[in-house]
């Protein structure tokens, strides 16, 4: 039986919250204080989102009943409830202090852009509603978002975390709370020039992506330009 507390229970028995946050793919979560979860004011509106299993899910999180691995739908609801509580907790002073320690330990990874020089990132949701989009990471240095990639080596495809578990507010309120963490602007680097056999390649005109169907993602490399024929390359080199 798991412990009934996530705040340093002297019994030494692991609570559900401690167990959950240690699972592979859950590295972005901090441990929400039990007292915060027990305060019904902090749970306002979540019953309507989770549905009829709200109390049962809450009892699992607070170690009042044993979790079951035979009901995948219930397991997902428990995760959703904890995630939505987590999104509220991390905008409190206590929650931000916990997330600051995780940022310091690079638990959320670093910005993939070279000019940002390994700037630690913060988790962010693009929407506050569940089942809309997965978690992203926000870089305060270049002010952009990316798919998560952690120093531990797990791939973003393996991270089944909803963006609503972190919300749209957290990283920006966090940086306001800790202004000393604001990094300098990205360093200036020389733009890469594609070449074929030493000759510059002129980029072909490309249509803009439809924002409604293709999400802007700079964590993936841009497609390489089409290689022109040798005569065109030679003509470009003479210009």
Residue 204 lies in a domain: yes
Residue 165 lies in a domain: yes
| CATH classification of the domain holding 9 | 1.10.1820.10
Tell me, yes or no, whether 166 and 205 share the same domain. no
- Between CA 55 and CA 50 the distance in angstroms is 9
Full-model pTM: 0.76
Q: What are the Cα distances from residue 218, in Å, to 25, 51, 134, 197, 208?
A: 22, 37, 16, 27, 15
Can you give the residue range of the structural domain that contains 111?
105-189
Tell me, yes or no, whether 8 and 84 share the same domain. yes
Tell me, yes or no, whether 129 and 205 share the same domain. no
Tell me, yes or no, whether 40 and 113 share the same domain. no
Q: Could you list the pLDDT tens digit for every one of the 239 residues in the chain?
A: 454 444 444 457 899 999 999 999 999 999 999 999 999 999 999 999 999 999 999 999 999 998 877 788 999 999 999 999 999 999 999 999 999 999 999 999 999 999 999 999 999 999 999 999 999 999 999 999 999 985 444 445 557 899 999 999 999 999 999 999 999 888 877 778 888 888 888 878 777 766 555 444 444 443 333 434 444 444 544 44
The total number of structural domains in the chain stands at: 3
Tell me, yes or no, whether 165 and 206 share the same domain. no
Q: What are the Cα distances from residue 19, in Å, to 30, 88, 91, 107, 152?
A: 11, 20, 23, 17, 19
């Amino acid at each position: 039986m798991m412990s009934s507390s996530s705040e340093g229970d002297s019994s030494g028995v692991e609570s559900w919250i401690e167990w959950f946050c240690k699972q592979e793919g859950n590295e972005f979560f901090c441990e929400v204080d039990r007292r915060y979860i027990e305060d019904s004011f902090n749970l306002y509106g979540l019953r309507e989102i989770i549905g009829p299993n709200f109390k049962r899910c809450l009892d699992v999180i607070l170690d009042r009943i044993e979790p079951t691995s035979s009901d995948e739908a219930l397991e997902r609801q428990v995760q959703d409830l904890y995630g939505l509580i987590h999104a509220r907790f991390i905008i409190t002073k206590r929650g931000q202090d916990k997330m600051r320690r995780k940022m310091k330990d690079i638990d959320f990874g670093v910005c993939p852009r070279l000019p940002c020089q390994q700037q630690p990132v913060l988790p962010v949701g693009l929407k506050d509603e569940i089942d809309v989009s997965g978690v992203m990471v926000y870089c305060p240095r270049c002010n952009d978002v990316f798919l998560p990639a952690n120093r531990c080596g797990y791939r973003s495809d393996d991270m089944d975390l909803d963006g609503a578990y972190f919300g749209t507010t957290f990283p920006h309120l966090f940086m306001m709370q800790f202004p000393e963490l604001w990094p300098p602007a990205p360093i200036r680097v020389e733009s890469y020039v594609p070449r074929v056999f030493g000759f510059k390649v002129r980029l072909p005109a490309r249509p803009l992506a439809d924002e409604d169907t293709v999400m802007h993602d700079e964590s993936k490399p841009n497609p390489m330009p089409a290689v022109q024929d040798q005569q065109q390359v030679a003509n470009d080199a003479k210009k």
